[in-house]
Each structure stands twice: as C-alpha cells, then as structure tokens.
C-alpha cells in the first residue's frame, strides 16, 4: 500500500490502485478517467478535494459503482485515515483491491452497508 497516495476525489483508493506505479493521483491528470470523470469536474467547480466533504445527495458519475460510492460514504462517516487504516489491515489479511483489472474483493457487493461492514471488519457477513 502506498499510503501517501491516499484516496482519490471520487473515493477510489489511489493508495491501492494497480495503476499507481505510473499514475500520481487525481490531480496529476494521469488517471484514465480524468478527461470524462463527472465527479472530478464537479469537485473542481465546487473547489473541494473529495466527494466525502460534500453534503449533497449525489448519484453522479463514479457513484454508479459501489466501490467509490461505499468508500466515499465510509470516509464521510469515519474519516479518510480510518478508511486507510482498514484498507491497510485488510490488505495484510489478503483482501485484494484490484484482483482482475480494476475489479477486486471490494466490488462484489450490491448493498453499500455490507460493503462498509466488510471494509470495517474484513469479514463478509
């Protein structure tokens, strides 16, 4: 885990991303989504760094995917540090963020509260 890379604007975990050997995060413009990412454009307009700092009820762009949506909700509730603490512990316990391409163990959920519980505990309920 490259903890110093933190969490992307949309909630994805740059610190665990398989692209992070050549991408330097959202602000670098090197993320494959940087040209079209609706959340990134919205955040830049609002002059805030992360969707988890925003109070709007939002289903835009990346939030159609459960991983950035769940990670954002987690960081909103418990903070980015707590999110990275859990991700770091889970990684040590063998939970893989990107197993095949950009899909890994945090993607296979259809209930966001179950994903949040998985982040917290590292166990599937």
Residues found near ligand SF4 in the complex (CB under 6 A): 8, 12, 14, 17, 19-20, 23, 25-26, 31-32, 39, 42-43, 46, 51, 54, 56, 58, 60
Residue whose token pair is 């604007």: 9
How far apart are CB 19 and ligand SF4 at their closest, in Å? 4
- Rank residues 26 and 119 by Cβ distance to ligand SF4 and give the closer one: 26
Alpha carbon of residue 39 to chain centroid: 12
How far apart are CB 40 and ligand SF4 at their closest, in Å? 8
Distance, CA of 22 to CA of 59 (rounded, Å): 29
- Rank residues 27 and 121 by Cβ distance to ligand SF4 and give the closer one: 27
Q: Which of 77, 80, 104 is nearest to 9 (CA)?
A: 80
- Rank residues 30 and 123 by Cβ distance to ligand SF4 and give the closer one: 30
- Rank residues 62 and 123 by Cβ distance to ligand SF4 and give the closer one: 62
Task: Label each residue of 12-46 as H, E or C.
Answer: CCHHHCCCCCCCCCHHHCCCCCCCCCHHHHHHHHH
């Amino acid at each position: 885990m490259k903890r110093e890379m933190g969490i992307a604007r949309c909630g994805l975990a740059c610190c665990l991303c398989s692209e992070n050997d050549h991408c330097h995060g959202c602000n670098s413009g090197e993320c494959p989504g940087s040209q079209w990412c609706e959340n990134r454009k919205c955040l830049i307009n609002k002059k805030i760094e992360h969707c988890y700092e925003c109070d709007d009820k939002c289903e835009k762009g990346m939030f159609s995917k459960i991983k950035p949506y769940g990670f954002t909700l987690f960081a909103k509730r418990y903070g980015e540090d707590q999110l990275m603490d859990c991700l770091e512990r889970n990684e040590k316990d063998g939970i893989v963020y990107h197993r095949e391409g950009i899909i890994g163990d945090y993607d296979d959920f259809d209930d966001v509260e179950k994903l949040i519980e998985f982040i917290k505990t590292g166990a599937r309920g």
